Amino acid sequence: MAQRGKDTSDIIWVIVNSEDTQGKANATNAQGCRELCEARVDAQADMLYEQLSGQANELSEGDRIVMHQGGAKMLGGQRLFAAGYVRSNVQPLTPVHAHSLSILWEVTRRWYRNWPVIEADISGELIIFYDLKKAKSAFPSPAVIRPRPGDKFIPLHPDCKTHRRCVAYDQLNDFWHGVIQQ
């Protein structure tokens, strides 16, 4: 993985990996979160609902990211799984993307309740590409990183006094550097 992107004093984006078929944290939810996280890291991409475009458009090529696996902590969730960079800005998902990233397409379709059933039904969905490296061992997410419903991209700012979650910035920065250098 090439060392590029912004310097270590910039934002680290936490990418939330969760499924939306379950109404609560349970074993099925944990399995979906894990499968989505693994598929996204393997594909180096993420397929998104159109309503996430506002959040996704805040990311830029070269931004530093960490992948957060959702699901109940007691069922193996709430951990940092990978780190890297945003490789490209968000763009419309096409049938070509769906076909070339067929495993990610199928996992997304399985775990997203309103995902198009067939590639021809794509209408407004999005894709973003990453340059990720999987951690040799997952790291527990800091307790202050707890996504709210609808959160997909959570920014952590250095020296932030506004958001409680930003107290975990140094911990995520250390995780990010450790994964990139492994």
pLDDT digits (tens, 9 = 90+) for 74-96: 787 788 999 999 999 999 999 99
Can you tell me the distance from the alpha carbon of 85 to that of 68, in angstroms, rounded to the nearest whole number?
A: 14
Q: Is 92 helix (H, G, I), strand (E, B) or coil?
A: strand
Strands 64-69 vs 45-48: parallel, antiparallel or unpaired: unpaired
A 10 A CB-CB count for 123 gives: 9
User: Does position 57 have pLDDT exceeding 80, yes or no?
Assistant: yes
Q: What is the pTM of this model?
A: 0.88
User: Does position 3 have pLDDT exceeding 60, yes or no?
Assistant: no
Please report, for residues 75, 126, 131, 142, 163, the alpha-carbon distance to residue 44 in angstroms, rounded to integers and kept in the order given.
25, 14, 6, 24, 29
Range of the domain at 35: 12-181
Instruction: Establish if 133 belongs to a structural domain.
Output: yes
Instruction: Establish if 4 belongs to a structural domain.
Output: no
Instruction: Establish if 129 belongs to a structural domain.
Output: yes
Report the Cα 29 to chain-centroid distance in Å.
Answer: 16
Instruction: Establish if 3 belongs to a structural domain.
Output: no
pLDDT digits (tens, 9 = 90+) for 133-171: 999 988 888 888 877 777 889 888 887 777 777 788 899
Comparing CA positions, the residue from 133, 126, 146, 116 lying closest to residue 53 is 126
pLDDT digits (tens, 9 = 90+) for 95-138: 999 999 999 999 999 999 899 999 999 999 999 999 999 999 88
Instruction: Establish if 6 belongs to a structural domain.
Output: no
User: Does position 58 have pLDDT exceeding 50, yes or no?
Assistant: yes
Residue of higher predicted confidence among 62 and 10: 62
Per-residue pLDDT at 1: 45
- Domain total of the chain: 1
Instruction: Establish if 7 belongs to a structural domain.
Output: no
Instruction: Establish if 30 belongs to a structural domain.
Output: yes
Instruction: Establish if 5 belongs to a structural domain.
Output: no
Indicate the DSSP class of residue 75: G
